[in-house]
């Protein structure tokens, strides 16, 4: 069940003409403003730029937002920037949802502004619905033991253990049989030199 007191901010980016050239971003902003749980929807020329990020932070303070949806470019490129932005305004960075309306909409729907805008509305509607289910998360620090266990004392296992040890790691080599060497240790001679295998 989503929280009762949802106050979602939706930030629609023109991305210059990258998005606004194909999508009616003003119509998209007006549509987003009426979605369930949305407290405010803002249109911005470049949301990832400093003025755009300041607009997000200002809206978080002024409208007491507890979720943020950014409708802009790929989260691969910009999600970390927006997480840092909302964290700077006191919001948990995991209360962010990205709606990729550039790569998933404007770039793949050229020449049909109405269809691109309709698709962008669907993408934002889904992102707002997902934002309903976001909850604050904490990043935990887990200690890591600087050691490795290699299972299997055949030729490959022995070589892996040696390489790890040469790299400065403590290594535990585990073999189920009484001796190491694997299949190679069972052979009398090996091809092509017909020499002793051990």
Domains (ranges, CATH) in the chain?
8-131 (3.40.50), 147-196 (no CATH)
Put residue 63 in one of left, alpha, beta given phi > 0 → left and psi -120 to 50 → alpha. alpha
pLDDT surpasses 90 at 189 = no
The burial class, CB within 10 Å (0-12 / 13-18 / 19+), for 31 is buried
Residue 14 token pair: 């023109």
3-class secondary structure, 13: strand
pLDDT band at 188 (very low <50, low <70, confident <90, very high): low
Whole-number mean pLDDT of the chain?
Answer: 90
Query: Whole-model pTM?
Result: 0.72
- The pairing of beta strand 195-196 with beta strand 189-190: antiparallel
Nearest to 18 by CA among 46, 54, 59, 48: 46
pLDDT surpasses 90 at 96 = yes
Confidence (pLDDT) at 197: 56
Confidence (pLDDT) at 3: 64
Percent of the chain with pLDDT over 70: 91
Confidence (pLDDT) at 178: 83
């Amino acid at each position: 069940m989503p929280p009762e007191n949802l106050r979602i901010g939706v930030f629609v980016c023109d991305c210059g003409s990258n998005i606004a050239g194909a999508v009616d971003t003003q119509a998209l902003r007006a549509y987003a403003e009426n979605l369930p749980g949305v407290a405010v929807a803002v249109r911005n020329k470049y949301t990832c730029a400093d003025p755009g990020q300041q607009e997000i932070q200002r809206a978080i303070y002024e409208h007491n937002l507890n979720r943020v949806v950014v409708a802009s470019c790929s989260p691969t490129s910009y999600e970390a920037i927006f997480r840092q932005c909302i964290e700077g305004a006191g919001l948990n960075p995991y209360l962010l949802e990205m709606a990729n309306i550039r790569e998933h909409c404007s770039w793949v729907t050229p020449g049909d502004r109405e269809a691109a805008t309709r698709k962008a509305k669907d993408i934002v509607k889904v992102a707002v619905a997902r934002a309903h289910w976001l909850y604050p998360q904490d990043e935990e620090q887990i200690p890591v033991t600087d050691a490795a266990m290699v299972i299997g004392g055949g030729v490959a296992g022995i070589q892996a253990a040696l390489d790890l040890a040469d790299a400065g790691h403590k290594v535990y080599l585990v073999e189920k049989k009484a001796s190491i060497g694997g299949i190679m240790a069972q052979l009398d001679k090996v091809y092509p030199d017909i020499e002793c295998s051990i």
